[in-house]
């Protein structure tokens, strides 16, 4: 038997694995953490556990946006989210989903979010 996936690891062949624009090495499909819901909201999914993933998201400017943050047995400080430019801070549930509504952003805006202590972060670029 040649090749295959060992231990279920996904290896990215191109791009920065921290971004939402990486390609799946097996299927070649692009992986995106953005969906548009029935009402036209842009939904951005971020997971929080020992940091945030993906750390960089390229999103659409000018549309109402919801950041959905998923926790799953998250006991570290990434369970506290701060978005200083929006004066936003919240404590996420240990396991669950938290939605943060973001008004339409201007092209070029970069939204930075941090953990409670400021050591983990993620950013969303609106273009
Ligand atoms: Cu922290």
* pTM beyond cutoff 0.85: no
Average of pLDDT values for 82-98? Answer: 97
Confirm if 82 and 52 have CB atoms less than 8 A apart.
no
Residue 64: inside a domain, yes or no? yes
Q: Which domain holds residue 64?
A: 34-126
How many angstroms does the Cα of residue 127 sit away from the middle of ligand 1?
A: 28
pLDDT for 109 equals 97
Domain total for the chain?
1
pLDDT in tens, 8-67: 444 443 444 455 655 555 555 556 899 999 999 999 999 999 999 999 999 999 999 999
For ligand 1, the distance from its centroid to the CA atom of residue 116, given in whole angstroms, is: 5
pLDDT value, residue 32? 87
Has residue 52 been placed in a domain? yes
- CATH number of the domain within which 55 lies: 2.60.40.420
109 in Cβ contact with 86 (< 8 Å): no
Residue 1 has pLDDT above 90, yes or no: no
Chain length of the chain: 127
- Residues, CB within 5 angstroms of ligand 1 (ion): 77, 115, 117, 119
């Amino acid at each position: 038997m040649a090749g295959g996936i060992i231990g279920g690891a996904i290896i990215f062949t191109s791009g920065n694995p921290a971004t939402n624009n990486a390609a799946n090495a097996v299927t070649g499909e692009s992986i995106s953490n953005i969906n548009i819901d029935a009402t036209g909201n842009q939904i951005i999914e971020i997971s929080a556990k020992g940091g945030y993933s993906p750390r960089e998201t390229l999103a659409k400017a000018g549309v109402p946006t919801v950041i959905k943050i998923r926790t799953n047995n998250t006991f570290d400080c990434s369970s506290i989210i701060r978005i200083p430019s929006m004066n936003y801070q919240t404590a996420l549930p240990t396991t669950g989903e938290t939605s943060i509504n973001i008004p339409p952003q201007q092209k070029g805006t970069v939204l930075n979010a941090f953990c409670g202590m400021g050591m983990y972060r993620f950013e969303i670029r609106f273009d």
